[in-house]
Amino acid sequence: MAPGSSVFKEVLESHLMSSDYETGKAKSEAKSNSTSTKSSVGLNGKNGVSPNNGVYELLGCSVCKKLMYPPIHQCPNGHTLCCHCKVEVHNICPSCHHELGNIRCLALEKVAESLELPCRYQSLGCHDIFPYYTKLKHEQNCGFRPYNCPYAGSECSVMGDIPTLVTHLKDDHKVDMHDGCTFNHRYVKANPHEVENATWMLTVFNSFGRHFCLHFEAFQLGSAPVYMAFLRFMGDDYEAKKFSYSLEVGANGRKLIWQGIPRSIRDSHRKVRDSQDGLIIQRNLALYFSGGERQELKLRISGRIWRED
Per-residue pLDDT tens for 231-284? 999 999 999 999 999 999 988 888 999 999 999 999 988 899 899 999 999 988
Percent of the chain at pLDDT exceeding 90:
43
Q: Is 302 exposed, middle or buried (0-12, 13-18, 19+ CB in 10 A)?
A: middle
pLDDT of 236 reads 93
Calculate mean pLDDT across residues 5-27.
36
Calculate mean pLDDT across residues 18-37.
42
The pTM score is: 0.68
pLDDT tens string 161-211 = 999 999 999 999 999 999 999 999 888 777 776 666 677 767 999 999 999
CB half-sphere exposure, 79, CA atoms < 13 A: 17
The rounded distance, in Å, linking the Cα atoms of 62 and 75 is 12
pLDDT of 169 reads 93
pLDDT of 175 reads 92
In 3D space, the residue among 143, 137, 165 whose CA is nearest the CA of residue 12 turns out to be 137
Report which of residues 202 and 63 the model is more confident about. 63
Calculate mean pLDDT across residues 212-238.
91
- The CATH architecture that domain 56-114 belongs to is 2-Layer Sandwich (3.30)
CB half-sphere exposure, 300, CA atoms < 13 A: 10
Is the confidence at residue 2, as pLDDT, over 50? no
Report which of residues 295 and 307 the model is more confident about. 307
pLDDT of 196 reads 66
The domain made up of 147-307 is a member of CATH 3.40.1010.10: no
Which DSSP helix (H) or strand (E) runs through 129? strand 129-131
Chain-centre distance for alpha carbon 155? 14
The rounded distance, in Å, linking the Cα atoms of 198 and 233 is 21
